[in-house]
Structure 1
Amino acid sequence: MEEPEDRGQETEEGRGKQEAGSRKQEEGAGETGERENPDSPVTTQNSKLSSAAARSATPNSKLLTPLLGLGCYWAILEEAHITMLAIDPAYQHQGLGQALLHALMSSAHQRGLERATLEVRLSNQAALALYQKFDFREAGRRRRYYPDNGEDALVLWRGGLQAPEFSDHVAVWQRQVDHRLHETGWQLTDGRSSSV
């Protein structure tokens, strides 16, 4: 098989690029303070992106929407394992955690999941009271589960998500959530809360 004739031949333009790249390497660091490989488009692009990010490091706070809470679960086989349910401390005790837990349980029911589980700190009495409202029961304990202080976690479990009466529970919880949010000045609209 023959190789193309021009393979390996330098062009005037190619030499110019290589020489410019060598000079840049000799001069030291690029815009980001790191040495760049002039032949790598990735390094060059990253440098440009880093520089652009540095110039616009202060976001326009008027465009940002504050995150008041977050809830999520993993769907594992027939189980909804609630991995996070958190409310900004400034917004706790206003029914937002109850609204998120209701949304998670409703979603798990709609997805056909049969049970829900979670871990909670033994000392988190407010969370334990919330989970009891949703009929979670203690299933076990994980000793020294939390690495920050070695605190135990309670494993809570709620079955029957596909039982016929579960839809009734969801409806009751919805009324409780609506009432609690109304009491604290929040209103659910299209799945999002807003202050009234």
Structure 2
Amino acid sequence: MNTFNLELQSLTETHLSALLELDQTCFGGLWTLDAYQREIASPNSDLLGLISPLSTMELLGMGCFWSILEEAHITLLAVHPQYQRQGMGQALLFSLLKTAHDRGLERATLEVRASNLSAINLYQKFGFKTAGRRRRYYKDNDEDALILWLGDIQHPQFPNSLKTWHQITSEHLKSFGWLFTSS
């Protein structure tokens, strides 16, 4: 089997068109150009992307969180439909949590559609627990959002969890021919 490099990068202004394209594909245009420009410029936002130099697509996946006090609020996690179920969502979530840990944040939280079982399963694999529900949170269809929560990111055992998740994620990606590196 051929292997292809999969690189994690902090996204910049040069990635704006790819961000908008992936956003349109995955979310139907959730965020605007101005919104992505604000994320890139903000010192309280981490916007990460998965890129493969050999892919015709510039951006295979993206993830973002806001640092709010001691919390990483995950705002986006998306993988292009052509590349889903290959471990890229795991790679992005791992990378967001590692970045949050490295920033000294204490916990992570996010909202997810109550019907998005594959995303909920992914978050649960990484230890997220349901903390609550936001009724009619999504305006496109009035669907509820589950509030998911992961604490103890600064606990002394958390780096061991990160190592385990990195190994599991790398092995999953490798089974699809991807070699995962972060820059």
Q: Which position in structure 1 is the counterpart of 2:74?
A: 82
Distance 1:162 1:95 in 2: 25
TM-score by length of 1: 0.64
Q: Which position in structure 2 is the counterpart of 1:14?
A: none
* Long gaps (5+) in structure 2: 1-55
Deviation, structure 1 residue 188: 1.3
The one-letter amino acid of 1:164's match is: P
- What does the per-residue CA deviation read over 1:90-128, in whole Å, with 9 as the maximum and x for residues that have no partner? 110000000000000000000000000000001101001
Distance 2:174 2:62 in 1: 20
2:157 to 138, 154, 165: 165
The one-letter amino acid of 1:71's match is: G
Higher strand share: 2
Q: Does 1:96 align with 2:77?
A: no
Aligned partner of residue 99 in structure 2, secondary structure: helix
* Long gaps (5+) in structure 1: 1-63
Aligned partner of residue 144 in structure 1, secondary structure: strand
Matches within 5 A, 1:137-148: 137-148=129-140
Deviation, structure 1 residue 65: 4.7
Q: Which position in structure 1 is the counterpart of 2:34?
A: none
Distance 1:136 1:188 in 2: 23
Distance 1:95 1:166 in 2: 21
Q: Does 1:178 align with 2:170?
A: yes
Q: Does 1:124 align with 2:116?
A: yes
Identity %: 58
TM-score by length of 2: 0.68
Aligned partner of residue 161 in structure 1, secondary structure: coil
Distance 2:137 2:82 in 1: 26
- What does the per-residue CA deviation read over 1:161-182, in whole Å, with 9 as the maximum and x for residues that have no partner? 0000001100000100110000
1:70 to 44, 62, 66: 62
Q: CA RMSD in A?
A: 1.7
Distance 1:66 1:122 in 2: 30
Q: Larger Cα Rg: Structure 1 or Structure 2?
A: 1
1:108 to 100, 111, 115: 100
Deviation, structure 1 residue 67: 1.4
Deviation, structure 1 residue 66: 2.1
2:148 to 141, 150, 156: 156
